[in-house]
Structure 1
Amino acid sequence: MLKRRKLILTITLLYTLFILYFMFFAFGRSDSEADSYTFIFVPDNFLKLPNPLDFLHPTLMDMVSLGNMAAFIPFGILIPLLYSIKFIRFIILFIFSILVLETIQALTLLGSFDMGDVLKNSTGAVIGFAAYSIGIRAKNVRRSVISMGISMALLLIVTWGIGAGIDKAVAKNPGSFVALNEWENSSGVTSKKTKSLPFKIGGQEITPQFNVYDTNGKKSETYSYKFDDKEFYFYLQYGIPDQNDFEGSISVSVDGRQILSYSSEYQKHKPEIFEWYFEQADVLTITLEGNEKAWDVGYREMKHFWE
């Protein structure tokens, strides 16, 4: 019995050193040039793991994502084999230990503090503890090992599925396209734009589907639209029609920050497509000069499936 305990203790210590190596030194962490602490308190997903089809051509990040959970399953088996411990106490001590290690990672600039990793690590430990609790009831060691192995595989698959379902439920996706037909121009007047007659750019006939914006015969015109801090994908097409002199420019800015600036000097004789993701935007502004046109201007707001 004493020899068995020493063997389990040795395996636990060696495995712990193995995990610590990967947490602090693997993947070139010691060569990192990070110069600031990174603390991620709100994970961008629940238990985002690779899609099973991704393993046909796995990437390093796929393996890291799965490893963040699977690598901590053994602790849920080894610790209760060493000490008689209730689940609540086990998971509290485990989470506390992981929080300490994640904090050290961030403070030493050898990684980041990521609550997503804490969640995955802890879930792995829970799977291990549950597998141990099921396997320990077997009548002999062989059946116990087999039972633990099957339990781990099934619990990992179930957790994988639950995590994917939760991620899908809480994730935001682009909604339907909304054409921006009413903008406030530089004179403070709300201007409504609708489809116009087709025109050609580089010999290609353009038929706007939603709207067309231009300078209205002036040297330049500015249009602004208030989004009230929405999260969305913004779209527009632009170019200079063939029937006009090839001169003009377009610029797009959001909350005073320019995200697009193109003049005829750099544009080609063809229609261009612009797309931009805004995590949060209040006022978006488009400025057109010369013969530049913009059309099919609109956005897709990021929404949950229930919105």
Structure 2
Amino acid sequence: MVPLLWLMLVPFAGWAGLRLAGWEPKFVWSQLVSFTPYAAAASVLPLVVALLIRNGPLVVAALLVTGSFAVAVLPRAVPGGNAEAGGPVLRVLAVNLLHSSVPPEDLVAVVERDRPDVLHLLEFTSLMRKRVGELGLGRLLPYEVVLPGEDSEGAAIYARYPLRPSDTRIAAPSFAKSPRHLPALLTLPGGREVELVAVHACAPSEGWRTACWASSIRALPPAGGRLRVLAGDFNATLDHAVLRDLIATGYRDAADVTGKGLSMTWPYYQQPRLFPKVAIDHVLADGRIAVRGFQTLRMPRTDHRATLTELALP
């Protein structure tokens, strides 16, 4: 029994060690590390058995492993401190449309119901643009900046307030058929400006796509200077070092701040109910911005949950 428990503990120890060290080997690990919350939960089992059989060395080792996971995972389930901000409130809705598979009428209905000030749309096709226009999206959010593209390449930002393309340059992946980020500048009543970036990083697949994934996240602008909000599909979780490095420049993850960092967002469509989900859709706000609320929303015919965030500017 004891040798078997030691063998069970080894992979958990290796997982926790890699996660805390921040070293991310290519290929399988860039995908596997997304499931760290599940590994953390499973690591409790060897600890419980070690306690039951009263094996001291094994208890200590299991406690170290489970504790390492807890340090990495539990803080995102606890609300954190917020910035002091009494400025304009901004509601940001971000949706990955899965090649624009979401019925346009459902998308417009969500905008009517939840009344966002800003709408980020990813995998946004020209046909979807035409259909939501016919259904009155422009009446609800009259300003738009669109990045033309089909399938996964297109993106758009719609807004209640004046919006224009940003001068921020974000390097596009050099691979064909890769998603791209879309920056825009929003001018609020009174003249305040905030930069918005509709984020769509490459997926951390095997082979050349791994390089596309990491570089597409590193290409995002660091915090500092003008106020900035990044929202969309990062294809990365808080267990990926490349995303934590971006946050460390001065952003705060809205789900993490509100204690909802374990709200999973993908994959939901056409997946078994018990298939493990991961949190790859994020809203990163400049640290000077207060996060008033965060929630995920179910959207039909897409594998992503939408995110709806309420922010208060300084």
TM-score, shorter chain, exceeding 0.5:
no
The structure whose residues are more often strand, as a share, is: 1
Relative contact order, higher structure (CA 8 A, sep 6+): 2
Larger radius of gyration: 1
